[in-house]
Chain A
Amino acid sequence: KAGVTQTPRYLIKTRGQQVTLSCSPISGHRSVSWYQQTPGQGLQFLFEYFSETQRNKGNFPGRFSGRQFSNSRSEMNVSTLELGDSALYLCASSLWSQETQYFGPGTRLLVL
């Protein structure tokens, strides 16, 4: 089976812009979770989608949003980018909610 794929792999944006990241889960996986990873804060949970519904949400501002499509692919959007949003954004899929997570390679976002 193909693993979790994320696009793009690298992205440079400026403050105030918005960005959309994409994630394709492992075939058959219905749960997709998003995480932000920074050197200072480590891996932090953003939100989880299961069967197109947001099941859980981490402690992030409303500028961070996401959605899941009927084919389980997911997108994450960050509006009004801030310098502190520079991070590695990781997507992970699992068969069911909260099960073993299979991570993608991540999208490295740099906000200038």
Chain B
Amino acid sequence: SQKIEQNSEALNIQEGKTATLTCNYTNYSPAYLQWYRQDPGRGPVFLLLIRENEKEKRKERLKVTFDTTLKQSLFHITASQPADSATYLCALVLYSGGGADGLTFGKGTHLIIQP
């Protein structure tokens, strides 16, 4: 079955280092991939969108790569800060024979930046 996999274990990173989160997917043919941030008790907040014909996208300290051959996206936070601690979700839009399906989210990776 089609699925999205993110590292379900918490990722502990020392402040100032680069945090790298992984999103792997199977059997999808996504047109684009999105990354969201979610804080406890709140709804997810959109961060970045990368299209299938883009290799890399940047926004301030954030960088996303998209490798459709490996079926993988990497999400980087450089110069990480404790305020970056949150759960990060990747999401794909599925396109099947019947057209676009719902936006499918991974279960997220809990990132902890330690001072």
Instruction: List residues of chain A with CB under 8 Å of any chain B CB.
Output: 4, 33, 35, 41-45, 47-48, 55-58, 90, 92, 97-98, 100-106
**Residue B93 lies at the interface, judged by CB distance under 8 Å to chain A:** yes
- CB B109 to nearest CB in A, in angstroms, measures 11
- Do B100 and A97 have beta carbons less than 8 Å apart? yes
List of A residues within 8 angstroms of B49 by Cβ: 100
Q: Confirm or deny: B101 has a beta carbon within 8 angstroms of a beta carbon on chain A.
A: yes
Closest to B93 in A: A98
Q: 19 extra interchain contacts, Cβ-Cβ under 8 A, other than A33-B103, A41-B107, A106-B42?
A: A4-B43, A42-B106, A43-B44, A43-B107, A43-B108, A44-B105, A45-B104, A47-B102, A58-B102, A90-B43, A90-B44, A100-B34, A100-B46, A100-B49, A101-B34, A101-B36, A101-B46, A103-B44, A104-B43
A-B contact count (CB 8 A): 53
Q: Which of B41, B100, B103 contacts A101 (CB 8 A)?
A: B103
Bound complex: CA A41 to CA B104 (Å):
12
Docked CA distance A104–B96 (Å): 28
**Contact assessment for A98 and B107 in the assembled complex, using a CB-CB cutoff below 8 Å:** no
For residue A1, give the distance in angstroms from its CB to the closest CB of chain B: 15
A48 touches B102 (CB 8 A): yes
Interface residues of B in 81-115 (CB under 8 A from A): 89, 91, 93, 100-108
